[in-house]
Amino acid sequence: MGGPRNQELDETRLALRLPVLRRRFPTIEDLERRAARRIPRFAFEFLQGGAGDESGLSRNRAALRSIEIVPRYGIETQGVDPSVELFGRRYAAPIGISPIGMDGLMWPGATELFARAAQRMNIPYLVGTLATARIEDVARWAPDVTWFQLYPLAADDHRISFDLARRAQEAGAKVLVATLDVPVRSRRPRDLRNGFVMPFRLSWRNTLQVAASPPWLRALARRGMPRFANIEAYARGGDPAAFVGAHVGGGFAWDVLARLRETWRGPMLVKGVLHPADAEKARAIGMGGVIVSNHGGRQFDAAPASVDMLPAIAAAVGRDMTVILDSGVTSGVDAMRALACGAHSTFSARAFMLALAAIGDDGARHMAASLIEEFTLALGQSGLRSAAQARHALVRHATAWAWPVRTGDAG
């Protein structure tokens, strides 16, 4: 990214550009329209698609948008503080960047751009096992804000899973997040129609889509072909994409998570929790928190919206654990809604990826600045002065699951 002088020039250029970007792309829909014209269709549909009939994906958005927060007026709201403390570190806002597998296929260099944006904006970056840069490099680009999402590689008693956790620890990742909600592969019709399976090979139709996407091609020329960088060490000279297709999955059993918890020095969370009893199991084995998520609607289309399970999970473990919401968050107001329903913080993936696809290399900084600004404004509009107060806002959440339910909650 160049020396100090080049970095200073980049900061000056971006400071001038961000207000222009806010005017051009004030909403996620603006970014979606432009992204669809700039990247290959198979990449855009991979980003936008969900499992099955995609009802889980649409349910996330509908549930969040239905939540109402009752504002209070006549309150001094100068000096609103959007920052939040998570595991002993204060971040700029309760907003983080969540991972998308093979992010560099949607915008070449995405992993590095996310890491640098997160470090500059002081928000957590949850880099994934299937990112297109190594955890060691990400932790160097973002030494203060790197979290690591561990996917299960169940073969050989999770030997590779444990080694990836070791690498993340030695690289300096602040938090380890084990992903629960990929016990088996999902079926995503858009990807099947586009031939987007592992190992991915360009068809003649996909090649035409690439040729029709000059901004993406220019980014590819600068950044190089995307690769499963964290997995290359284990493929032993073979095709890492084929290795991923054959080995990633199998799920994490609770006994394996307990062993991971014993080896990891620092905060550890589980991601993909929807059932309060699973949150309680996580607490019992010493996890520091849970990420309430239905994988963005990309794993199981019959799963409830993440935010609809959030209040029950927060009620079950929120006094003892950090509760974070993922899935469907595309605005600072959504983050406000999540906190009002019991979350301590939120993560977003699609919003950040769409910003890169629509804008290019400056997209991640634009999205982080927009979300922080929107969240700060939402606090002020609600008559609140801090993110901590947002968890006590008066809220109506008509689609929330009541707990306990009478059927289906067997542990």
pLDDT at 219 over 70: yes
110, 128 contact by CB (below 8 A) = no
306, 327 contact by CB (below 8 A) = yes
Give the Cα separation of 270 and 327 in Å (integer): 15
End-to-end CA distance of the chain: 50
Task: Determine which helix (DSSP H) or strand (DSSP E) holds 86, and give its type and residue range.
Answer: strand 84-86
From the number of C-beta atoms within 10 Å of its C-beta (0-12, 13-18, 19+), residue 156 rates as: exposed
Matching residue, tokens 């030997």: 159
Beta strand residue intervals within 190-288, DSSP E: 268-273
Matching residue, tokens 């996407």: 213
**What pLDDT is stored for residue 1 in this prediction?**
53
Tokens of 61: 């958005």
46, 106 contact by CB (below 8 A) = yes
Matching residue, tokens 């606090």: 379
HEC profile of 120-153: HHCCCEEEECCCCCCHHHHHHHCCCCEEEEECCE
Give the Cα separation of 110 and 132 in Å (integer): 8
Least confident of 1-5, 205-209, 341-345: 1-5
Helix axes 41-48, 350-359, angle to 10 degrees: 160
More confident position, 158 or 246: 158
Give the Cα separation of 363 and 346 in Å (integer): 19
148, 115 contact by CB (below 8 A) = no
Q: What is the pLDDT of residues 339-390, one digit of tens each?
A: 999 999 999 999 999 999 999 999 999 999 999 999 999 999 999 999 999 9
**What pLDDT is stored for residue 410 in this prediction?**
36
Which member of 247, 275, 295, 344 is catalytic?
A: 295
More confident position, 220 or 9: 220
77, 385 contact by CB (below 8 A) = yes
Quote the pTM value.
0.93
| Residue 407 binned pLDDT confidence (cut-offs 50, 70, 90) | very low
Q: How many CB atoms lie within 10 A of CB 314?
A: 23
| Residue 199 binned pLDDT confidence (cut-offs 50, 70, 90) | low
Query: Average pLDDT in the 27-49 region?
Result: 93
The residue extents of the domains of the chain are: 4-69+83-393
Matching residue, tokens 């751009």: 113
Q: What does the mean pLDDT of the chain come to?
A: 91
Tokens of 234: 């284990």
pLDDT at 409 over 60: no
Beta strand residue intervals within 327-368, DSSP E: 345-348
Nearest to 392 by CA among 58, 166, 70, 176: 70
Give the Cα separation of 391 and 141 in Å (integer): 32
Beta strand residue intervals within 254-411, DSSP E: 268-273, 289-292, 322-326, 345-348, 394-396
Instruction: Please say if 392 is a catalytic residue.
Output: no
Q: Which amino acid, one-letter code, is at 60?
A: N
267, 87 contact by CB (below 8 A) = yes
Give the Cα separation of 104 and 359 in Å (integer): 15
375, 92 contact by CB (below 8 A) = no
- Tell me how far CA of residue 4 lies from CA of 8, 9, 131, 363, in angstroms: 6, 9, 27, 21
**What pLDDT is stored for residue 53 in this prediction?**
82
Looking at domain 4-69+83-393, which CATH architecture does it have? Alpha-Beta Barrel (3.20)
More confident position, 259 or 318: 259
Query: Average pLDDT in the 42-71 region?
Result: 90
